[in-house]
Amino acid sequence: MCLGQIGNLLPHVALSANLAQHLMPAWGLSAAEGGLMASGYAFGYMLAVPVLTTLTDRIDARLVLVCGSVVSGLATIAFGVFAHGFWSGTAIWALAGLGFAGAYMPGLKALTDRLPAGDTSRALTLYTSSFSLGVGLSFLAAQVIADGWGWRWAFVLTGAGPVAMVIACFLMDARRPEPKQGRLLDFKPVFANREALGYILGYGAHCFELYGIRTWLVGFWTFVIAHQGAPAWLSPVMVSFVFAILSMPASILGNEAALKFGRHRAITAVMIASAAVALLLGANVSAPAWLLALLLLAYGLTVPADSGALTAGMSAAATREHRGATMALHSTVGFGLSAAGAWGTGLALDHAGGPQTATGWLLVFVVLAVGISIGPLVLLWASAAERKAGAVAK
């Protein structure tokens, strides 16, 4: 499943990896338009995931996973062949996101349905952290292919990656969930589950920050090279690849810390640290490249370190009969705020002078810091609600 997910993620940041260097200049896009086009992926995902993930409470999640993987791959190839501007690019990329809605959380549900009873936290964290390895390879492949054969080939070739998940699905045993009555989209029990809701909203803050930095990471480092210079080996390809790859060990270690010190405490510490690093990056955008590389290295560790713990916490807090619906809301909130992160940082960049100005990048990192700072507040709210409910029960 982890290898299949890495294949599914090869197209994931093909647009972000080529946005600042290729697509914006070719189509004359502003940063806000570029950010909105990138957020189309998250928006398409957000629209489809409530239905597709909740559907896994009724049919084998493997079937949804196969269909979503195929749509994601074909839409990515279509972007490389047919996209010729903002509107066509946004529409096709939203279709790719819609396909991925059938590929990520349904994949998590297919995995949990096949795991033995007991604590599945480490297995889920391995699956969610392999997301980062897939994104790192997506950054690497999309930029290397674009530099060698043009950005269109970057989409066409990475679009073949989801074949790996299709193969993985055919190797799985069939697993039909227990028959369930009632409405398909019934989120009332999920909203009543304050513990799960705290993790879901915290995941939204995490996704806002994560998608915001991923959308503009290559653009930011291009700015650094243009204004401060950097050694040849510190290229946008290398920086974005290392930044993404760090997410895998960071997510695993973050979950281990959550198991040892408590989920809320560990997640809150990581989020506060991430906000602090973002503010340091914003305050030092004109510093030497080596210092910015070190700060990005630290940011590459803090941004994803809460991901596995948030998803594992949500899954543990979900009731078995509503796990698909809980995962659906988790993903809807997460990718809805991912879209807000990509577009919001693009708006901030334009408002403060554009991608060639230090003030533009300062405001981007301030926006990211504010976004992740909401996470500890919603976790505190969930904890307070749980304590109150416990006191009433006693």
- 3-state helix/strand/coil string of 6-60: HHHHCCCCHHHHHHHHHHHHHHCCCHHHHHHHHHHHHHHHHHHHHHHHHHCCCCC
Residue 51 lies in a domain: yes
Residue 30, pLDDT above cutoff 50: yes
- Kindly state the average pLDDT of the residues 22-42: 93
Angstrom distance (rounded) from CA 394 to CA 167: 51
Distance, CA of 111 to chain centre: 19
Residue 178 lies in a domain: no
- Kindly state the average pLDDT of the residues 350-377: 95
Amino acid identity for residue 311 in this structure = T
pLDDT of residue 121: 66
Residue 115 lies in a domain: yes
Residue 181 lies in a domain: no
Q: What is the mean pLDDT of the chain?
A: 88
Residue 300 lies in a domain: yes
Question: Which of 211-220, 329-338, 368-377 has the weakest average pLDDT?
Answer: 329-338
Cβ-proximal residues to 199 (8 Å cutoff; 6+ apart), any chain: 263, 310, 311, 313, 314, 317, 330, 379, 382
pLDDT in tens, 110-163: 887 877 766 566 777 778 778 888 988 999 999 999 999 999 999 999 999 999
Q: How confident is the model at residue 393 (pLDDT cuts 50, 70, 90)?
A: very low
Distance, CA of 364 to chain centre: 18
Number of domains composing the chain: 1
Angstrom distance (rounded) from CA 125 to CA 209: 19
Full residue range of the structural domain in which residue 205 is found: 2-173+188-393
Place of tokens 């028959």: 179
Give backbone dihedrals phi and psi of 118, rounded to 5 degrees, phi first. 125, -170
Higher pLDDT, 192 or 150: 150
Residue 56 lies in a domain: yes
Residue 7 lies in a domain: yes
The domain that holds 125 is classified in CATH as 1.20.1250.20
pLDDT in tens, 66-107: 999 999 999 999 999 999 999 999 999 999 999 998 988 888
Angstrom distance (rounded) from CA 319 to CA 120: 14
